[in-house]
Amino acid sequence: MSRHEFDLPETLPLFVLPGAVLMPRTRMPLNIFEPRYLQMVEDALRTPHRLIGMIQPIDENGEMLADVGSAGRIVGFSEQEDGRYMISLGQVSRFRLTGAEDGFHPYATGSVDWSGFEQDGKEGEDDPGWNRDNFLGLMRRFMDVHELSTDWDEAGDAEPELLVNSLAMALPLEIQDKQALLEAATLPERRALLEGLMEYDLRHGENEEVMQ
C-alpha cells in the first residue's frame, strides 16, 4: 500500500531514538523490547495506516525532540519467543512536529504537519552532480578509518539515492549531523552534505594524528 491509499493522520505515535533516522524511500528494521514500544506496535497495527513516527531527541535527557521526523509504515512483523517484536518500517513521509505530549498511552504522541515533504511519496530522485568513483573513494576511506565493512560490489551497483540514504542512516555520525541529513530537501543536497561530513571527519582524524 502506498501513502496515497490511506489518509495521513494528524497525530502519530513517536518512537524516540537517538541516531535513528528514516530516510525517504528506505526501510528500517527495529528490534522492539521495551514495554511502551511493544504497546506502540500493537496499537499501530490496529490502525488503517500502521504508521510510527521515528524522531530523534536533541538533548541529553531525551526530553526535547527534533523539529522533523519521518513516518514509517509497519511492512514486516514477527513475534519472538521471548516476547520481542521484530518489525520493518517502510518510509512514507517526513513530517514536522508541531506538538508532543504524553497522554493516555505509555509512549509519546505528536501532532504533525506533512506539508513540504510531498516528494517523499513520489519516485526516487536523481542527482545530476553524482560522481560514483569520487563518492565511493571517499566512502572507502571513511569506512577504513572507522573499521567498517560493506559489500563493495553491491555499493558499486547501487542507485545513488539508495546508497546515499542508506549511508546517512547507517554511518556513525553525530545526532545533529543525522538530523541535518534527514532534513536535506533534495538528494543532491543530502549527498553533498554527506560528502562534507565524511571529509571533515577524515581531516579531523588526520589532525589528531599529527598532534599526538
Q: What pTM value is reported for the model?
A: 0.90
Residues 107/13, Cβ–Cβ less than 8 Å? yes
Residues 125/187, Cβ–Cβ less than 8 Å? yes
Q: Tell me the per-residue pLDDT of 68-113, one tens digit each, with 9 for 90 and over.
A: 999 999 999 999 999 999 999 999 999 999 998 876 889 999 999 9
- Whether residue 23 is found in the same domain as residue 115: yes
pLDDT of residue 201: 95
CATH number of the domain within which 113 lies: 2.30.130.40
- Whether residue 139 is found in the same domain as residue 102: no
Share of the chain above pLDDT 90, in %: 84
Residues 56/174, Cβ–Cβ less than 8 Å? no
Residues 90/96, Cβ–Cβ less than 8 Å? no
Query: 63: how many CB neighbours lie within 10 A of its CB?
Result: 10
- Whether residue 117 is found in the same domain as residue 148: no
- Whether residue 83 is found in the same domain as residue 175: no
- Whether residue 12 is found in the same domain as residue 75: yes
pLDDT band at 212 (very low <50, low <70, confident <90, very high): very low
| Long-range contacts from 180-186, C-beta under 8 angstroms, 24+ separation | 181/21, 181/23, 182/21, 182/22, 182/23, 182/68, 182/69, 182/70, 182/94, 183/68, 183/94, 186/119, 186/125
- Whether residue 24 is found in the same domain as residue 59: yes
User: Is position 126 within any domain?
Assistant: no
**Angle (nearest 5°) at CA 39 between 33 and 44:** 115
User: Is position 42 within any domain?
Assistant: yes
Q: Which of 121, 148, 176 is the last residue of a domain?
A: 121
**Angle (nearest 5°) at CA 53 between 182 and 192:** 5
- Whether residue 111 is found in the same domain as residue 191: no
Alpha-helix runs per DSSP H in the chain: 35-45, 132-145, 152-157, 160-170, 175-183, 187-211
User: Is position 127 within any domain?
Assistant: no
- Whether residue 136 is found in the same domain as residue 206: yes
The residue segments making up the domain with residue 174 are 132-211
Q: Which of 121, 155, 188 is the last residue of a domain?
A: 121
pLDDT of residue 210: 39
- Whether residue 64 is found in the same domain as residue 151: no
User: Is position 77 within any domain?
Assistant: yes
User: Is position 195 within any domain?
Assistant: yes
The number of distinct structural domains making up the chain is 2
Q: Tell me the per-residue pLDDT of 197-209, one tens digit each, with 9 for 90 and over.
A: 999 999 986 545 4
- Whether residue 111 is found in the same domain as residue 139: no
- Whether residue 23 is found in the same domain as residue 105: yes
- Whether residue 105 is found in the same domain as residue 160: no
Residues 44/92, Cβ–Cβ less than 8 Å? no
pLDDT of residue 203: 92
